Amino acid sequence: MARTRTHHEETAGREMEPPTELLTVSEVAQRLRVDDTTVRRWIKSGALEAILLPHRGKRQGYRVKKSTLDALIHGTTAVSV
């Protein structure tokens, strides 16, 4: 019977990817100087890529990769309003 490899064995020798910095809707809104609602609208319309978090409370949770925001700020990604 074949032995199952552990996670450590599978990742040994591979370079680890640096952790991705994730920003909250509020942090993105502050950096872009817009309201949280605007950022949520951009996410829901697909104009801004975000990670969907498990739903808790009255609002859906999102996180935006810092690299996505940087690309937006530097003009390599367009947001259609």
Domain assignment present for 10: no
pLDDT in tens, 19-72: 789 999 999 999 999 999 999 999 999 999 999 998 877 888 999 999 999 998
- pLDDT for 5 beyond 90: no
pLDDT at 67: 93
The total domain count for the chain is 1
Q: Are 38 and 80 in contact (CB under 8 A)?
A: no
Mean pLDDT, residues 5-26: 70
pTM for the structure as a whole: 0.69
In this predicted structure, what is the pLDDT of residue 8?
Answer: 55
CATH number for the domain including 43? Answer: 1.10.1660
Query: Is residue 42 domain-resident?
Result: yes
Task: In whole angstroms, give the CA distance from residue 10 to residue 30.
Answer: 40
How far apart CA 43 and CA 52 sit, in angstroms, is 10
